[in-house]
Amino acid sequence: MAGTLLFTPILLAAAAAGAERIARIKDGKRHQPPGEFQDIGGHKLHYQILGAHHLEQDAKLPLVVFEADAADWSTHFGELPHEVAKSSPVLIYDRAGLGWSEEGPGPRDVDTLARELHRLLVDVGPERQALIVAHGFGTLVARMYAHRYPFETAGLVLLDGEYEGFPAEARKRGLPSSEASSILLRLLSWANCFGILRAMRMPVAVPEVPDYDFSPRALSTLNARSFSPGILRAIQAEQDCKEMSLEQVRALSDRFEFPVRILAAGQSANPETSPKDFPTEEFNEVWVEQQRKLLTLSSDSKFALAADCHHYVALGAPDWVQEAIRDAQTAILAPREE
């Protein structure tokens, strides 16, 4: 009897892990990668080039490159890249370990991520500069890329990105962190091994976006990929390097000559989805205030505030984002004064 009681939990855990593994195999068959893969030196990144015909029609147009937020990948931009591709060449991709990309070596700091993006563009991109449209944590990657490769950067469009001074200012004002802790991410990874997240319908990669619905296909993909152990490891790896990434960006002293367009969300911390006692109003004020400091990045910088928009600006205010992209392109293509 005692032996049975001892082995029952083990058998149940093994059965749960086996069922989860079978479910992942089925997910993989149902949700095939929509793009191609490129080996960038030991691991492959998943990418798509959209609007490729524009590359032949206008040799001056920059390649619009979308860089996703933490825990996100190309799917999280919704239909925006496809809309932009109607008039511009576009590259969307998944950082290592996210989406369909293979996991990459550590550390997963912004310096590593910027170098990997550069390798991808060198290998698969046309010989032209990149206009990087970056969201959230991705804005740090974009800025590091521009720092390392300024002559290969046509401009930046920063969507509700974190300014490197925000954590210190938030602590100074006694504001709580809105990020998941590494301990929580490890617990989620453990629970995921036994199918607990799937059973509880807790897909970690499906954000709560007010007044926006992903297409049925995109939502199904996000749900399925949420339970990939590699994706959870990649999220944790980037989170573990977050302070290192912020230190790397703090050390930069760039002032660019190309256009930088900043679009901040006034409701980045949404009162409807934030914890009951979370100080959303003060948090949002500091968040926007810090983003205004990004205006010093360039001699040609502009700031706009989407006052009623949530953090996922590309989904909640796609027209504003497209206008920012067009404005940056106009500045890029304008004749330069001698």
CA–CA gap between residue 296 and residue 310 (Å, rounded): 24
CATH number of the domain where residue 299 is located: 3.40.50.1820
Summarize pLDDT for 5-42 with one digit per residue, the tens: 445 555 444 554 555 466 555 656 666 899 999 999 99
Estimate to the nearest angstrom the gap between the alpha carbon of 2 and the chain centroid. Answer: 50
CA–CA gap between residue 280 and residue 163 (Å, rounded): 18
- 26 assigned to some structural domain: no
pLDDT reported for residue 271:
81
Summarize pLDDT for 70-120 with one digit per residue, the tens: 999 999 999 999 999 999 999 999 999 999 999 999 899 999 999 999 999
Estimate to the nearest angstrom the gap between the alpha carbon of 30 and the chain centroid. Answer: 24
Structural domain range at position 207: 31-333
pLDDT reported for residue 73:
95
Q: Residue 314 pLDDT more than 70?
A: yes
Structure tokens at 177: 């962190």
Summarize pLDDT for 170-216 with one digit per residue, the tens: 999 988 776 666 676 677 676 666 656 666 666 777 888 888 889 99
- 194 assigned to some structural domain: yes
Average confidence (pLDDT) over 245-258: 95
Task: Please state the pTM of the whole predicted model.
Answer: 0.92
CA–CA gap between residue 12 and residue 182 (Å, rounded): 27
**DSSP of 279-335:** -HHHHHHHHHHHHGGGGGGEEEEEEEEETT--S-HHHH-HHHHHHHHHHHHHHHHSP
Summarize pLDDT for 52-73 with one digit per residue, the tens: 888 887 778 999 999 999 999 9
- 8 assigned to some structural domain: no
Q: Give me the number of domains the chain comprises.
A: 1
- 23 assigned to some structural domain: no
Paired residues of 263 in beta bridges? 159, 304
Average confidence (pLDDT) over 291-320: 96
